[in-house]
Structure 1
């Protein structure tokens, strides 16, 4: 059973992670690998809307995905997007990244090797990691305009789609922790965190939602 206070705190973190960017056509869409194939669905939908002429799917595997995505997150995303009607030649696969920083760094190198000039990028990720992804991308590739996008889902709708409320809340807590500790380590830009959001984070940690926390000094996952 998850206490009512924890549900309220998790929803507060969820709302904070939403950047609220206005999606517009960009040079490329970069889909960040994860356990959630919905990222591939959202990226494919943006492609079909004409929001980007080219897609990069980036991601190896992690402890969460090594069994369900044995060929690698980026490859499974590519297969899903092709099933959804995206032409194979509109997709690049970056198969080595194992954290958000590598997602950005390796995608940048791949696009440079291809000769693709990037002035703006759709950063497609899970709904609860928009702010983390944005902070990392701004730090590592600052001369690009970053537009965050994710599945337009309400908090409970997203939990239902994943089927594991505790996993989602653990991930939310982990994403929030990184916003608080990674700027000091040079991994992302600093972002203002409202006091009520920080308090919600600490209550969730005290309630035991800690499986996705990193130790200090953090070793990026």
Structure 2
């Protein structure tokens, strides 16, 4: 694959758009599964609040632990801002230890089982960064295949998602994540979507 500084072929851009920067139709779900972040927090919260106002979820699970240089966990930062944006505190569940996408899911499943019961979750909407789109759903598919999955990919760059390859930082982020897919599949961290 081309380094971030090389020209990308139109075929590769199209392949990444189709296979990695996936979009799913949205409809109301039992659960909003928020993958933690330190980047684009305002944009994440705006998207989550809009989904809440639209009646798209009953429960929200926010996952993410502390990151280097900041002892406060991502889940607490996001959930506090979600409450300020109008999402009721009582519908938010927190997972505060995860340090990677696999842990986001595996550490959250016992919390969901204890609080609402996994059998009561037939569908979810995952919320995560645009450049990691496919990997969120592929990780969920690996650890929780039974649930129906949708995705809201948050683009916190001031640049159109479809023109990701024209923005230096977004291009670097997308290509870095794209390159992880095959090694992560080989390692068993993720699986293909049905």
Give the TM bin, normalised by the shorter chain: 0.7 to 0.9
Query: Where does structure 2 lack aligned partners over 5 or more consecutive residues?
Result: 162-166
TM-score (norm: length of structure 1): 0.71
1:173 pairs with 2:175: yes
- CA distance in 1 between counterparts of 2:64 and 2:122 reads 22
Residue 152 of structure 2, aligned match among 137, 149, 153: 149
When residues 188 and 108 of structure 1 are mapped into structure 2, their CA distance, relative to the original with a 3 A threshold, is same
Change (3 A) 1:10 1:56: farther
Asked if the contact 2:40–2:156 (Cα under 8 Å) also holds between the matched residues in 1, the reply is no
Q: Partners of 2:98 and 2:12 in 1: how far apart? A: 28
Count of residue pairs brought into register by the alignment: 181
Alignment of 1:61-140 (within 5 A): 61-63=66-68, 66-67=69-70, 70-116=71-117, 117-140=120-143
Q: Secondary structure at the match of 1:150?
A: strand
Kindly state the Cα deviation for residue 151 of structure 1 after the two structures are TM-superposed: 3.1
Residues in 1 aligned to 2:12 and 2:158: alpha-carbon distance in whole angstroms:
9
Partner of 2:164: none
Tell whether 2:25 aligns with 1:22: yes
**Structure 1 residue 177 displacement after superposition:** 1.7
- Give TM-score scaled by structure 2 length: 0.80
Structure 1 pair 182/176, CA: closer, same or farther in 2 (3 Å)? same
**Deviations 1:165-215, CA, capped at 9 Å, x for gaps:** 654333222211221111111111136xxxxxxxxxxxxxxxxxxxxxxxx
Unaligned runs of at least 5 residues, structure 1: 159-164, 192-221
1:14-34, CA deviations, whole angstroms, 9 ceiling, x for partnerless residues?
A: 664322210111110011001
36, 41, 62: which one pairs with 2:40? 36
- Give me the CA root mean square deviation: 2.8
105 and 6 in structure 1: CA distance in 2 versus 1, 3 angstrom threshold:
same
